[in-house]
Amino acid sequence: MDIDTIRAFVTVAELKSLSAAAFRMNHLQSNMTAKIKKIEAHYAQQLFIRSSKGMELTVEGKRLYTHYKKLLSLWEEAEQEMKQLEPKLRLGTMQSVIGSEITATLAGLYEKYPQLSVTLQTGSTAEMEQALMNGTIDLAFAIGASSKTEQLHYKKIGLEEVVLVGKGAVPGMSLKSILPGATVLILSEQCLYTSRMAQLFSDFGLPKAPVTQVAVVETLLQFAALGMGITLMSKRIVERLGVTNYLELPAEQRFLDKYVVTRQGYELSPLEKQFIEASHFL
């Protein structure tokens, strides 16, 4: 069984979706289906069942997943060792991405590689793009793309849902009643949430709102909860931090693309691949 087929099985098992797994691995969905059928034929057992929750592992599938996950981990460690690569990560993320997901991922890698060296830079998507082009980082997680320069490679990995947060932002309220006269809380002027908020005001024919910059996500959301202003934030982050006062946006304004960004022609190391696959941001 080749490593790509093993990885396909693990990816489908974790994402519970053939289409999502195909997207992540940059395969056609038909190729992904063929790989799963190949494994099931090899073991002469049904390994997945379709349910309302997606592709669920059978008892036999769960047993195989445990073994294949170990195999992948050993293979990645072998690649790292045999290629004599220094265990290092030079990463960039938007500040709103930093949280328990990335912390847990790094903790797991430190257990495997005690000598791991990590450079972590945070900032806006535009700042991450510039850091990549300057060579100070090698890999960035970004929500939205500010320039789509030819110097960089953007791999779309999904969508990020954005919600409006504020004391009065509760289900049943309308944007028309919340936006007029509100102060906008932002992480930075360069943040794509800032430009998306400005677009909301423009769409409703409202003048530019007064802005307060708060550089820490948790503090920004606390200020919004107190009624000091409104802000746009990832729904994933909002729910993780226990915020309940938020309003979903209209469908056409609700989503931003998520990317893994590298320099054009840059080849990810086995360690970087491990980090990407383990991160729940994906």
The domain 88-158+258-278 having CATH identifier 3.40.190.10: the answer here is yes
Closest CA relative to residue 129, chosen from 115, 143, 113, 145: 145
Closest CA relative to residue 91, chosen from 79, 110, 113, 106: 106
- For the 159-256 domain, the top CATH level (class) is alpha beta
Confidence band for 107, pLDDT divided at 50, 70 and 90 = confident
**Separation CA 225–CA 230 (nearest Å):** 9
Give me the pLDDT at residue 47, please: 95
**Separation CA 220–CA 229 (nearest Å):** 9
Q: Which single residue is written with the structure tokens 């309003």?
A: 247
CATH 3.40.190.10 domain span(s) along the chain? 88-158+258-278, 159-256
Looking at the chain, the whole-number percentage of residues with pLDDT higher than 70 is 93
Average pLDDT, integer, range 227-234: 93
**Separation CA 125–CA 139 (nearest Å):** 12
Q: What is the pLDDT of residues 44-66, one digit of tens each?
A: 999 999 888 889 999 999 999 99
pLDDT at 195 over 70: yes
pLDDT at 248 over 70: yes
Average pLDDT, integer, range 201-215: 91
Pick among 2.40.110.10, 3.40.50.300, 3.20.20.10, 1.10.10.10: CATH of 3-83 = 1.10.10.10
0.75 cut: is pTM over it?
Answer: no
pLDDT at 37 over 90: yes
